[in-house]
Amino acid sequence: MNKVTKCVDRKRDLSIIYRNTPEQGVFDLAEAGLPAVPALGFSRYGRSIECVEAHRHADCLEIGLCLRGALTLLNNRQEHRIMPGDLYINKPENIHCLTTHPKSTMIHWLLIRNPKKSKSFLRLTAPEAKEIWTRLNHLPCHIIAKTDAVKHAFKKMFKYHEQEQGLWRTVGLTNACTSILMEIIDASTHKSSIDHPQLIEQLVESIREQPEKNVSIDQLAREARLSPSLLISQFKQITGLPPYQFQLACRLEKAKHLLTTTELPITRIAFDLGFCASQHFSGHFKRAFGITPTAWRKQTKAAVNRNQHVTPEF
């Protein structure tokens, strides 16, 4: 049976449904001896699902690790493209939501309660808990870094959660959770330097202006004066995406603009933006935005018509 609780803030209530299904698990670790962790969760979606509305977590910080799929996070109206291996952090005051849950998405996540609101923060002293909380709250909402250690610590948390209740289980969960927080803080400070940032910024702007133009990694690497592997790494550090994924994202954003502002056939838009077929374009569009190009066009036109028929107030 699913259990429902609420994480409440002044403007929005978010119901947390504790469950354990093949697609999604959400577990209350307060019952396992960790009152600082009201939720540990995983998502393994075999289909696209509807998004949760924008919300906040009262007195809680949310940490997520993308393992598979490409997510779009909206945090305080800023859009972030979360790729496999990336971390996202939503602070208590951040209004946020994942705007897409594409098919084959896989995420590990947890909520950490403010030490002031928790009777025990991972069995740390008050100064130690405050230090970790302060460092977490100074992190950006999107972290692109080497996160293998974070992934391993999450696996240990789920492993200990599956064990029988007892002191050993609580100790294992506590240590694994502390490791997650420490590894995230460390990962955020170990970013490699950018060798030729201006050259890469020029490439980024060029792709953004002409996403339909075919490019190759070798060509981009020559222009940036880097090896192909180093280009991919540093390009992702700047944009959050590797070159091909960034180009695809730019093509899809331009497609949304064309679908909204023109009457061009969808097939024409697909070919003009460099897609080999309209079906190929439609598949990428739906995975990215959770809706087909045709449905997007109808939806945006309906919204425009509604706005045009609104009677102004004087």
Q: Give the Cα separation of 44 and 25 in Å (integer).
A: 9
Position 191 scores a pLDDT of 59
Q: Distances from the Cα of 94 to the Cαs of 10, 78, 87, 90, in angstroms?
A: 13, 11, 16, 6
Q: Do 130 and 116 touch, CB atoms closer than 8 A?
A: no
**CA dihedral (243, 244, 249, 250) positive or negative:** positive
Nearest to 90 by CA among 126, 127, 130, 54: 54
Q: Do 183 and 44 touch, CB atoms closer than 8 A?
A: no
Q: Do 280 and 270 touch, CB atoms closer than 8 A?
A: yes
Position 207 scores a pLDDT of 93
Show the 3-state SS of the chain: CCEEEEEECCCCEEEEEEEECCCEEEECHHHHCCCCCCEEEEEECCCCECCCCCECCCCEEEEEEEEECCEEEEECCEEEEECCCCEEEECCCCCEEEEEECCCCEEEEEEEECHHHCCCCCCCCHHHHHHHHHHHHCCCCEECCCCHHHHHHHHHHHHHHCCCCCHHHHHHHHHHHHHHHHHHHHHHHCCCCCCCHHHHHHHHHHHHHCCCCCCCHHHHHHHHCCCHHHHHHHHHHHHCCCHHHHHHHHHHHHHHHHHHHCCCCHHHHHHHCCCCCHHHHHHHHHHHHCCCHHHHHHHHHHHHHHHHCCCCCC
Q: Give the Cα separation of 80 and 87 in Å (integer).
A: 11
Sequential pLDDT tens for the chain (314 residues) = 345 444 433 445 456 889 999 889 999 999 899 999 999 999 987 766 667 788 998 899 999 999 988 788 899 988 888 888 899 999 999 999 987 666 678 999 999 999 988 778 999 999 999 999 999 999 999 998 889 999 999 999 999 999 999 999 999 999 999 999 999 999 887 655 666 788 888 999 999 999 999 889 999 999 988 888 888 888 887 887 889 988 998 999 999 999 999 999 999 999 999 999 999 999 989 888 878 999 989 988 877 776 665 544 43
All domains in the chain, ordered by first residue = 3-189 (2.60.120.280), 199-308 (1.10.10.60)
Sheet architecture: strand order including 78-82: 78-82, 71-75, 96-100
**Residue 24 backbone phi and psi in degrees, to 5:** -150, 135
Which residues are CB-neighbours of 176 under 8 A, at least 6 positions away?
153, 154, 156, 157, 160
Position 120 scores a pLDDT of 85
Instruction: Give the pairing type, strands 142-143 and 78-82.
Output: unpaired
Position 8 scores a pLDDT of 38
Q: Do 56 and 9 touch, CB atoms closer than 8 A?
A: yes
Q: Do 225 and 196 touch, CB atoms closer than 8 A?
A: yes
> Whole-prediction pTM value?
0.71
